[in-house]
A = this chain, B = another copy of it.
Amino acid sequence: MPLLVMKFGGTSVADLARIENAAKKVQAEVARGYDVIVIVSAMSGETNKMVGFVEGTSKLYDAREYDAVVSSGENVTAGLMALRLQEMGIAARSWQGWQVPINTTSAHSSARFVSIPRDNIDAKFAEGFKVAVVAGFQGVSAEGRVTTLGRGGSDTTAVAFAAAFGAERCDIYTDVDGVYTTDPRITNKARKLDKIAFEEMLELASLGAKVLQTRSVELAMRYKVRLRVLSSFEETDENSGTLVCDEDEIMESKVVSGVAYSRDEAKVTLVRVEDRPGIAAAIFGPLAEAGVNVDMIVQNISEVEVGSSKGATTDMTFSCPTNQVARAQKAMEDAVAAGMITYDGIVVDSDVAKISVVGIGMRSHAGVAATMFKALSKENVNIKVIATSEIKISVLIDRKYMELAVQALHDAFELEKA
């Protein structure tokens, strides 16, 4: 029997009516001849409520107890979904993490999968059950304690089950109807993609297009699990949503697939840092330890000031989220105090945004950067920092030009055309 994994997030199971709506989508797949593994999140709001209880009880909480508490919401939804499916005449039962068992590491609140043995669920399918409803986000450690995977963990659970059971596809039902060429709130020319490659999705996800958790896409890419993102709140069929898949499956490969942006970026420049071997480590080591998520890094060419007692110096620029600037400054001051680095000053620009164009086609096409820079130049948008990877070009620009830049790039790469 072909098997599908279907995952419903918190807003898709927020109340009994929505659970029923989700159950109807499961029913449709059973009618198409699939055995189905359904992964459910907690009703939206429930997990936050539990986190509030824990934080109200203990500041430096025991993560094992945190996990035992916050995992409760998924168990509730799993039971209710199984009941609803039974009401529809479908043989279904719920599975809590320890019942499968979903074996994970003991890294509570950020556990990783160790193994998902198929025996128990396969035995039920063999008995004639059509649907296994599994509580997402949770697992069990070797010590027999309940673990959780961290936020967004239910997506990861879904992909892991799809991999373990060799599912034909893993459908992620959420509150958007797919992955778009860019944010439709910024340009109404934004177009829903039928397909997107794992690598592209990864770049888009990490750039702030919060449709799928990065970790779930990584896992899908590693195990070649075909992922589909589609809406819980619309009529859907076999062709709905966006398929995230291996690039081999994408025939019409455009050079650029999407334009992503990240609004809350800051640019930090250390002026005239002593330029010597090991200086980058001396800067970015302390930043990492301070929990600063450094994204782009640019180092200017070295210069030697005439008549200066200092040796060669360089300007070091990096970007990080706006709300981490204070932390970054503190880390740099501490590094100076500890004699690890010297510089003449820190210049912070908190009013920048990051714009990226992403596409696997870039690998084989030249001229993408030129097209991008020309489009921005035409709108008089000044580029402050540039960084590139194999399938992505990112620039930092003044935040006030962000929408304009996204629109200009969307037009320049003709993303409105299928």
Chain A residues within CB distance 8 Å of chain B: 16, 19-20, 50, 53-54, 56-58, 61-62, 64-66, 68-69, 72-73, 75-76, 78-80, 82-84, 86-87, 93-94, 96, 98-99, 144-146
A53 neighbours in B (Cβ, 8 Å) = 16, 76, 80
Copy total for this chain? 2
Task: Return chain B residues, CB-CB under 8 Å to A65.
Answer: 79-80, 82-83, 86, 93-94
Task: Check if A96 sits within 8 Å of B76, measured CB to CB.
Answer: no
Q: A62-B82, A62-B83 given. 6 additional CB < 8 A pairs?
A: A54-B79, A65-B83, A65-B86, A66-B83, A68-B78, A72-B73
Interface of A is mostly: helix
Min CB distance A245 to B, Å, is 35
Q: How far is the CA of A144 from the CA of B79 in the complex (A)?
A: 15
A19 and B65 alpha carbons, distance in the complex (Å) = 15
Complex Cα–Cα for A321 and B403 (A): 72
CB of A23, distance to nearest CB on chain B (Å):
9
Q: Is the CB of A64 within 8 A of B50?
A: no
- Contacts A93-B64, A94-B65, A99-B144 hold; do A58 and B72 have CB atoms under 8 A apart? no
Q: How far is the CA of A93 from the CA of B50 in the complex (A)?
A: 17
Residue of A68, A96, A99, A144 ringed by the most chain B CB atoms within 10 A: A68
Chain B: CB-nearest residue to A19: B57
Contact at A96–B62, with CB atoms within 8 Å? Answer: no
Report Cα–Cα, A266/B99, bound state, in Å. Answer: 48
